[in-house]
Amino acid sequence: MKIIMLGAPGAGKGTQAKMIAEKYSIPHISTGDIFRANIKGGTELGMEAKKYMDQGQLVPDELTVKILLDRVAKDDCKNGYVLDGFPRTIPQAEVLDKALSELGDAVDYAIDVDVPDENIINRMGGRRACVTCGATYHMVHVPPKQEGICDKCGSELILRDDDKPETVKKRLDVYHAQTQPLIEYYTKKGILKSVDGTVDMMDVFAKITDILG
């Protein structure tokens, strides 16, 4: 079972990807993680990716797919995997499809965790992070015992720049321009399944497991 997770930043697709991976005993593959693992391991592909990253450039699609294919060729992926954070654009999806089809393989499901922008801006604007230990809270869903103070270490909690409404809006604009077209791409392939991401996390997961069986 090969699954691609789609959804805007803050929609909760990473959380769902981890839960799917655990339930079905398949790896959760995040492109960020495999880049870091290859760079840390000093692999040839990792060193090539590092050259681009050190210059603040995006890693080219072909190289990203090479690193990804190297990862999914490992034994733990023989029953499938959940891809989180890739593909982000139509060209990436096309490169991935071509590479998989050359291996006689294909993606089984593209699952879109659908959350309106307004919900995401409110959701991320409610996040708070500890400046010292990195613990995270949410003013509505997981509030600290004392407002503005970390339960774990007593340090100050802040709203990270990444979670500020203006930053979130910019990230959503990029998502709509680059990643949302994948919804139509996978719909045409007949593998897109959309779930309502505004409901409780466990209800979202129940809907996904209904789809996957």
The answer to whether the peptide bond before residue 27 is cis (omega within 30 degrees of 0) is no
The token duo for 153 is: 């270490």
Three-class SS of residue 128? strand
Which one of the listed residues 160, 169, 170, 189 is annotated catalytic? 160
Q: Is 13 a catalytic residue?
A: yes
The answer, yes or no, to whether the previous bond of 181 is cis (omega within 30 of 0) is no
Determine which one of 18, 50, 164, 171 is catalytic: 171
CA 185 distance to own-chain centroid: 18
Give me 185's structure tokens.
């791409």
Dist. CA 159–CA 1, nearest whole Å: 38
Catalytic residue among 88, 123, 128, 207: 88
Active site residue 71: no
How many residues would you count in the chain?
213
Q: Name, in order, each residue with C-beta under 8 angstroms of 208's C-beta and a sequence gap of 6 or more.
A: 16, 20, 111, 193, 195
46 contacts 108 by C-beta, under 8 angstroms? no
CA distance 48 to 50: 5
| CA contacts within 13 A on the Cβ side of 69 | 20
Which of 2, 71, 127, 207 is the catalytic position? Answer: 127
- Catalytic residue (choose from 13, 66, 128, 207): 13
Residue 123 annotated to the active site: no
**Which residues are the active-site residues?**
13, 88, 127, 160, 171
